[in-house]
């Protein structure tokens, strides 16, 4: 145990998004607290801008984007580790992008000194990330009044090794020790408290669906959780639904309103500044609609010296934006099927990302999982979930519960149970003991009663498969009570492959005799099942090699 005189280290959680970034820490009340930047905001726009000899970050840089887009850098996170291409070059409306001598993309900006002399500055995505992370580190230190000793950083599930290494290098270059990198869906699950029963013998297996809708795309992931270990089962990314795409719906709507008021079509006049102003304004409108039935949109001097003031109600917004939600529903259905699950097997749906706060979009996803528990931040701060989850992981490291030396994505296990394993009770009924995607090594024990008069315990070990839910009966609700009772008794799994059979002889068995059946699967995927009668101590074991 560390000496009481040893200074307590300060670790933070960090989420660097393509649009916004968030810093969080676990406070004295043991709750995640988001660190405000110098402007008092919980979210720091992922922008860097140059004007004259000055370099701006965050909100100040985003304001520069309206009138100084050619010297404003955004979207650099998703360029990390990527080669230059025409598609990469046109992905952003900010500073010009060119290829450097190594074939990597570089942002090109112009700086000017007091004498009016200009010079060109070229920044690769890695350099931009280094500058930006350095500013986030400074923000955290100024807010807390002490040095930051390390951070847990979330990365998108689609990040490859080169992108993760670039993030690591950026942190290292500014003196920020990177304790761990964890996938964003795992950070989300941590913040929602999944895996908190890690120390309990009866730790519950959970299959969660993480729906993360951000500024430039959406990631939908299936995560298996047991005892503090997480398995990232499968993930699907789509660029067809995002905060940007939904913003464009509002931009077109309000541009049409402004045209009626002023006769000026800001979408066609060729000047991009009014459109940039409108885009920044509708972000506030969209956010307001997540908690209010109507929201204003106001832009000072939008075009032709004229101000714009408009509003939209949530119903109208949902009608306009509704068609943009379909790709998310498709992605959700796809990832659940790819992961080998049915909707009924998803225990929890976790929402995160700024655009996921849209109520109609939420309801479209939730409707697919009527039996699941839905977790969403009631305060609506879904874009702070991932950073807060990283802060939770950082706190576990500080307490010595998680070993940071395991490197990338500690707590995320690559190996897991491939199919449900359990006791075959009949030809069409399996009692699951270890569920699919339970992280390895895994151990479970269940208690089995002997039928009256029996002196032998017959144990049949089988792989299983889910039983599809019965077709819905639309003939009315006359038999609701009967249907509810049938639902309680519905068999969820059936045997698919008998693995082993064993018989435990118990001479002194009576009506109170119980047998403990322990399933254990090691990291080599070998299954060992031991049946024990605790009074006599008699036991029998079967070993089943990896299938």
Q: What is the pLDDT along the chain (547 residues), one digit of tens a residue?
A: 444 455 689 999 999 999 999 999 999 999 999 999 999 999 999 999 999 999 999 999 999 999 999 999 999 999 999 888 876 766 666 899 999 988 999 999 999 988 888 999 999 999 999 999 999 999 999 999 999 999 999 999 999 999 999 999 999 999 999 999 999 999 999 999 987 765 555 567 789 999 999 999 999 999 988 777 888 999 999 999 999 999 999 999 999 999 999 999 999 988 899 999 999 999 999 999 999 999 999 999 999 999 999 999 999 999 999 999 999 999 999 999 999 888 988 999 999 999 999 999 999 999 999 888 898 876 558 999 999 999 999 999 998 877 776 544 445 655 788 899 999 999 999 999 998 888 888 888 999 988 877 888 999 999 999 887 766 655 555 555 554 444 445 678 999 999 999 999 988 878 788 899 999 998 889 999 999 998 888 999 999 998 7
pLDDT for position 72 = 96
Among the four given CATH numbers 3.40.190.10, 3.90.640.10, 3.40.50.150, 3.40.50.720, the one describing domain 243-323:
3.90.640.10
Give the Cα separation of 532 and 136 in Å (integer).
57
Query: Using an 8 Å Cβ cutoff, are 16 and 132 in contact?
Result: yes
Query: Using an 8 Å Cβ cutoff, are 297 and 180 in contact?
Result: no
pLDDT for position 472 = 60
pLDDT for position 230 = 87
pLDDT for position 190 = 93
Among the four given CATH numbers 3.40.50.11890, 3.30.420.40, 1.10.1200.10, 3.40.50.300, the one describing domain 178-241+325-406:
3.30.420.40
Among the four given CATH numbers 3.30.420.40, 3.10.20.30, 1.10.230.10, 3.60.21.10, the one describing domain 11-173:
3.30.420.40
Stretch(es) of the chain classified as CATH 3.30.420.40: 11-173, 178-241+325-406
pLDDT for position 523 = 84
- Burial class, 520, CB count within 10 angstroms (exposed 0-12 / middle 13-18 / buried 19+): middle
CATH T-level assignment (fold) for domain 421-544:
Substrate Binding Domain Of DNAk; Chain A, domain 1 (2.60.34)
Give the Cα separation of 489 and 242 in Å (integer).
41
Give the Cα separation of 475 and 184 in Å (integer).
44
Stretch(es) of the chain classified as CATH 2.60.34.10: 421-544
pLDDT for position 205 = 79
């Amino acid at each position: 145990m560390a000496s009481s005189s040893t200074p307590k280290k300060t670790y933070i959680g960090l989420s660097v998004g393509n649009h916004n970034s968030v810093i969080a820490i676990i406070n004295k009340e043991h709750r995640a607290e988001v660190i405000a930047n110098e402007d008092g905001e919980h979210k720091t726009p992922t922008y860097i801008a140059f004007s004259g000899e000055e370099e701006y970050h965050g909100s100040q840089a985003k304001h520069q984007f309206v009138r100084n887009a050619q010297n404003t850098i955004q979207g650099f996170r998703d360029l990390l580790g990527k080669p230059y291409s025409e598609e990469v070059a046109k992905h952003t409306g900010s500073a010009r992008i060119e290829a450097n001598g190594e074939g990597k993309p570089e942002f090109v900006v112009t700086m000017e000194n007091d004498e009016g002399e200009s010079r060109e500055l070229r920044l690769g995505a890695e350099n931009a990330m280094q500058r930006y992370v350095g500013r986030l580190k400074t923000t955290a230190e100024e807010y807390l009044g002490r040095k930051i000793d390390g951070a847990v950083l979330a990365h998108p599930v689609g990040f490859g090794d080169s992108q993760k290494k670039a993030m690591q290098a950026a942190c290292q270059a500014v003196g920020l020790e990177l304790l761990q990198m964890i996938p964003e869906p795992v950070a989300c699950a941590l913040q929602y408290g999944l895996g908190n029963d890690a120390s309990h013998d009866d730790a519950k297996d959970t299959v969660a669906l993480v729906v993360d809708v951000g500024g430039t795309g959406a990631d939908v992931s299936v995560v298996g959780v047991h005892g503090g270990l997480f398995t990232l089962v499968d993930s699907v990314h789509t660029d067809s639904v995002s905060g940007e795409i939904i913003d464009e719906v509002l931009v077109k709507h309000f541009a049409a309103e402004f045209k009626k008021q002023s006769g000026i079509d800001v979408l066609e006049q060729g000047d991009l500044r009014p459109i940039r102003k409108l885009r920044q304004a509708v972000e506030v409108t969209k956010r307001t609609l997540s908690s209010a039935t109507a929201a204003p949109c106001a832009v000072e001097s939008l075009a032709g010296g004229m101000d714009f003031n408009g509003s939209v109600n949530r119903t109208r917004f949902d009608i306009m934006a509704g068609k943009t939600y379909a790709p998310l529903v498709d992605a959700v259905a796809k990832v659940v099927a790819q992961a080998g699950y049915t909707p009924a097997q998803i225990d929890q749906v976790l929402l995160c990302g700024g655009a996921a706060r849209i109520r109609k979009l939420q309801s479209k996803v939730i409707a697919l999982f009527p039996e699941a528990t839905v977790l969403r931040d009631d305060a609506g701060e879904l874009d702070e979930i991932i950073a807060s989850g990283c802060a939770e992981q950082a706190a576990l490291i500080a307490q010595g519960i998680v070993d940071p030396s395991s490197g990338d994505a500690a707590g995320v296990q690559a190996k897991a149970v491939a199919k449900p394993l359990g006791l075959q009770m009949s030809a069409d009924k399996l009692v699951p003991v270890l569920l699919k995607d339970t992280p390895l090594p895994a151990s479970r024990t269940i208690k089995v009663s002997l039928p009256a008069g029996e002196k032998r315990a017959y144990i049949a070990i089988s792989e299983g498969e889910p039983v599809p839910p019965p077709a819905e009966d639309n003939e009315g609700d006359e038999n609701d009570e009967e249907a509810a009772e049938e639902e309680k008794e519905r068999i969820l799994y059936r045997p698919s492959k008998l693995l082993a059979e064993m018989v435990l002889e118990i001479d002194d068995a009576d009506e109170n005799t119980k047998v403990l059946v322990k399933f254990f699967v090691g990291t080599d995927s070998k299954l060992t099942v031991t049946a024990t009668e605790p009074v006599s101590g008699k036991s029998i074991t079967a070993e089943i090699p990896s299938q």
